[in-house]
Amino acid sequence: MEKVTMAGAINRALRDAMAVDSSVVVFGEDVGALGGVFRVTDGLAAEFGSERCFDTPLAESGIVGMAVGMAMNGFRPVVEMQFDAFAYPAFEQIVSHVAKMRNRTAGAVTLPIVLRIPYGGGIGGVEHHCDSSEAYYAHTPGLEVYAPSSAADAYELMRAALRRSDPVVFLEPKKLYWTSEEVAFSSLSSSSLSSPSAAALSSSPSAAAVASSPLAGASVAGAAVAASPLAGASVAGAAVAGASVAGAEPGRAVVRRAGTDVTLIAYGPSVGVCLSAASVAFLEGRSLEVVDMRTLVPFDDETVCASVARTGRAVVVAEAAGFGGVAAEIAARVSERCFTALAAPVRRVTGFDIPYPPPAYESFHLPSVDRVLDAVDDLQWEDA
């Protein structure tokens, strides 16, 4: 077992993939000597040379467009969009080319590109640095969209992304970058390339339960979770189903915590909030199950529906603005597929339909444990 942050885990995944696959190249803004503003590419240029990891001019469309050409010509580019909102200049390349090339060439040209996007709020960032932009990508046919919630998942999903022949938008929750967890990296590098489940990783029991960011002290939103007197309990209390979480792979959600009364459905930065909420609810006598989607595309209807069929109630939790978002899609899917099992309407707890607010207002905007519990309270228990 080894203590590793999510940033460190992604860095390790990139390093391990680059070591065994010479077609993997990493480029973007400040990813070379600096190692990225979040240090996710730290040391890669030094270890693999400036032809494998290099800085580009400051032009996101050019970065993604160049990745398209390199992928057409034998490489497996990993590009970093420095922040969520900084990816928007590349939107046309992503939507019109990255996502569509396989289809418009009837499978002749595939683009195995990984678009890394540090995303989401909770770090006290200023405007343009905290967007939850997953809906744009998940809405675009041809893009896979991953959103890990733990360091172990981040490692395995990145390795999986680097084995896919389709482009992957890899959403890295910024507020979890520096969250440490114990991960068993037992058999790394070449052996882990062979199959998606051979990454030889397993989360420690308490891995995903550490909801609060290490930046929580500096961040209002993080404090909303961390300041709870029950935060300590949440770490221990959440260690239920996570104890033997299988290796993450695309299209397979995981039940992070088993429960009987309500299914909380989340991904990326909201999973920890849900686990904390489940811990609090447990003390109040309610048993909440937490499903971590891990990947939004492919989407695992099966695990979600199986859980809701057991619990009969569902709350979807996501940081992004709710209107037209991924949480809305999940709520709709649950309503369509699990209607007869539902004892109450599916609820959503999301960011509000406002531009991402400044640091002092973050806690009002981001889904908090209290808002999740309020939504749970609202699920027509009198009829149960």
Partner 1 sequence: MTRDPAHLLPSADPVQLIDVEGKRVRDDVRIPEATDLVRAYGALVLGRRFNEQAYALVRQGRLAVYPSSTGQEACQIAAAHVLDDGDWLFPTYRDAVAMVARGVDPVETLTLLRGDWHCGYDPYRHRVATQATPLATQLPHAVGVALAAKLRSEPTVALAMCGDGATSEGDFAEALNFAAVFAVPVVFFVQNNEYAISVPLSRQTAAPSLAHRGIGFGIPGQRVDGNDVAALLTVLGDAVARARAGEGPQLVEAHTYRVQAHTNADDDGRYRSADEVSAWAPRDPLLRLATYLRASGLLDDAAQVAFDTEAERVAAALRASSPAAPDPARLFAHVFAEPTPQLREQAALVRDELSREVEV
Binding site for partner 1 (CB under 8 A): 25, 51, 56-57, 59, 61-62, 64-75, 77, 89, 92-93, 96-97, 101-110, 141-142, 144, 164-166, 251, 297-299, 301-302
Min. distance of Cβ 44 from partner 1 in angstroms?
Answer: 16
Min. distance of Cβ 106 from partner 1 in angstroms?
Answer: 4
Min. distance of Cβ 302 from partner 1 in angstroms?
Answer: 8
- Specify whether the CB–CB gap between 243 and 209 falls below 8 A: no
List active site positions.
129
Min. distance of Cβ 368 from partner 1 in angstroms?
Answer: 31
Q: Which residues of 133-160 are buried (b: 16+ CB within 10 A; e: fewer)?
A: bbbbbbebebbbbbbbbbbbbbbbbbbb
In the bound state with partner 1, the residue whose beta carbon lies nearer, of 61 and 191, is 61
Min. distance of Cβ 72 from partner 1 in angstroms?
Answer: 6
Q: What whole-number distance in Å separates Cα of residue 20 and Cα of residue 369? A: 42
Helices (H) and strands (E) in the chain, counts: 14, 14
Min. distance of Cβ 295 from partner 1 in angstroms?
Answer: 10
In the bound state with partner 1, the residue whose beta carbon lies nearer, of 64 and 277, is 64
In the bound state with partner 1, the residue whose beta carbon lies nearer, of 64 and 321, is 64
Beta-bridge mates of residue 254: 292
In the bound state with partner 1, the residue whose beta carbon lies nearer, of 188 and 253, is 253
Q: What whole-number distance in Å separates Cα of residue 156 and Cα of residue 168? A: 14
In the bound state with partner 1, the residue whose beta carbon lies nearer, of 68 and 372, is 68
Nearest-CA neighbor of 117 among 46, 54, 167?
A: 167
CA distances to 101, 108, 142 from 104, in Å: 5, 9, 11
In the bound state with partner 1, the residue whose beta carbon lies nearer, of 77 and 242, is 77
Min. distance of Cβ 66 from partner 1 in angstroms?
Answer: 4
- Specify whether the CB–CB gap between 263 and 313 falls below 8 A: yes
Min. distance of Cβ 134 from partner 1 in angstroms?
Answer: 16
Q: Are strands 347-351 and 314-321 parallel, antiparallel or unpaired?
A: parallel
- Specify whether the CB–CB gap between 14 and 26 falls below 8 A: yes
- Specify whether the CB–CB gap between 162 and 20 falls below 8 A: no
In the bound state with partner 1, the residue whose beta carbon lies nearer, of 50 and 260, is 50
For 198, the token pair is 């051979």
Full DSSP string of 352-384: -SSSPPPGGGHHHHS--HHHHHHHHHTS-GGG-
In the bound state with partner 1, the residue whose beta carbon lies nearer, of 59 and 246, is 59
> Residue holding tokens 């207002």?
361
Q: What whole-number distance in Å separates Cα of residue 165 and Cα of residue 102? A: 10
The pair phi, psi for residue 352, each rounded to 5°, is -80, 170
For 51, the token pair is 């032809």
Task: Compute the half-sphere exposure of residue 101: CA atoms within 13 Å on the CB side of its CA.
Answer: 20
